[in-house]
């Protein structure tokens, strides 16, 4: 159910951030060390970011596995300007559990012309609360089919059905799915039958070193080809260890675009906290940011997709359709 903070944000409380004066004081985006080397089209959208405002106002979930450093809406606006992006999709990360207050705060701060969101909900979330989130800019839910490390397809199928039921009253929403390729392959038929679009984030969990022939990637391509699923070509550093340009991700990106350019979107995955479980680091310790150059990663899109018309679909047309800009 909506927390008190979520209700305050939705009601437009005085606690919501106004970027009118703060934007002028926002620091330059420190993660953009390389300028864009192609023309980013007007209306371009970064479809996967998170915000981590003041934890005194937006506390983290007690069951989290890491604690990120601050990443405010002002910081996000600075990133948007540095990347020449006009739109953004804020996704509720795992560190907040099912509390979407920080995401709603970020959407309100950046405004309805620029920002949309993807929420994480619980079994007690009501249709009225979903309607309120829709009015606030939420356009879908994020579903983890491997909660607790469980990778049993039968368990994942039950989680999928529960998620479908939870947003059946929201016909314009989508379901963003986190699952490894083996789960996607096992549930391919069920995923094709759900009554809302499916969105796979971060190359659908494919590992670049295994190439386009890795088990399960064909299932993703089939779902994309049919128009049922979108894929975010985002978080290249999650798919590849070959920094800073992650060249082995190029075949994955090109295969996805070739399958159906109308079902591909791009995301930076900013602000890149190190979410890995490290024995010497407690979940409550601040995780250091990863060394990701968001400008350099954006430039990879022009290498993966040299055709400006197709890039326009990926950056502008597809997000506008999926997130209702």
Do 289 and 238 form a contact (C-beta atoms < 8 A)?
no
Residue 254, Cβ density class (10 Å: 0-12 exposed, 13-18 middle, ≥19 buried)? middle
Do 255 and 224 form a contact (C-beta atoms < 8 A)?
no
In angstroms, rounded to a whole number, what is the distance separating the alpha carbons of residues 325 and 322? 8
Q: Looking at the chain, list the stretches that DSSP marks H as alpha helix, in order from N- to C-terminal side.
A: 4-10, 19-25, 73-83, 101-110, 127-135, 153-166, 181-186, 188-193, 217-225, 236-239, 250-259, 294-304, 308-312, 318-323
In angstroms, rounded to a whole number, what is the distance separating the alpha carbons of residues 313 and 302? 13
> How open is the CA angle 25-27-30, to the nearest 5 degrees?
170
Number of residues in the chain:
325
In angstroms, rounded to a whole number, what is the distance separating the alpha carbons of residues 63 and 92? 15
In angstroms, rounded to a whole number, what is the distance separating the alpha carbons of residues 293 and 34? 7
Q: Is 269 annotated as catalytic? A: yes
Which of 269, 274, 294, 307 is an active site residue?
269
Element (H, E) at 144: strand 138-144
Residue 124, Cβ density class (10 Å: 0-12 exposed, 13-18 middle, ≥19 buried)? exposed
> How open is the CA angle 164-167-171, to the nearest 5 degrees?
105
Catalytic residues: 269
């Amino acid at each position: 159910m909506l927390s008190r903070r979520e209700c305050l944000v939705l009601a437009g409380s005085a606690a919501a951030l106004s970027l009118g004066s703060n934007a002028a004081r926002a620091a330059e985006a420190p993660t953009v060390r390389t300028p864009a080397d192609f023309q980013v089209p007007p209306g371009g959208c970064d479809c996967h970011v998170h915000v981590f405002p003041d934890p005194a106002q937006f506390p983290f979930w007690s069951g989290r596995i890491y604690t990120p450093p601050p990443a405010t809406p002002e910081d996000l606006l600075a990133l948007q300007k540095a990347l020449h992006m006009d739109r953004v999709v804020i996704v509720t990360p795992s560190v907040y559990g099912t509390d979407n207050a920080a995401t709603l705060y970020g959407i309100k701060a950046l405004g309805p012309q620029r920002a949309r969101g993807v929420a994480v909900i619980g079994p007690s979330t009501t249709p009225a609360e979903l309607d309120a989130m829709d009015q606030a800019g939420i356009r879908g839910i994020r579903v983890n089919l491997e909660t607790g490390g469980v990778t049993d397809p039968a368990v994942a199928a039950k989680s999928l059905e529960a998620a479908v039921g939870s947003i059946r009253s929201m016909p314009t929403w989508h379901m963003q799915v986190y699952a490894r390729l083996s789960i996607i392959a096992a549930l391919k038929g069920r995923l094709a039958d759900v009554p809302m679009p499916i969105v796979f984030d971060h190359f659908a969990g494919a590992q670049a070193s295994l190439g386009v022939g890795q088990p399960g990637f064909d299932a993703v391509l089939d779902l994309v080809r049919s128009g049922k699923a979108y894929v975010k070509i985002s978080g290249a550093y999650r798919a590849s260890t070959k920094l800073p340009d992650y060249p082995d991700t190029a075949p994955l990106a090109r295969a996805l675009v070739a399958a159906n350019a109308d079902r591909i979107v791009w995301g930076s995955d900013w602000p890149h906290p190190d979410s890995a479980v490290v024995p010497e680091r407690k979940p409550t310790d601040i995780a250091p940011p990863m060394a990701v150059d968001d400008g350099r990663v954006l430039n990879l899109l022009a290498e993966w997709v040299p055709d400006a018309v197709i890039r326009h679909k990926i950056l502008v047309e597809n997000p506008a359709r999926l997130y209702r800009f």
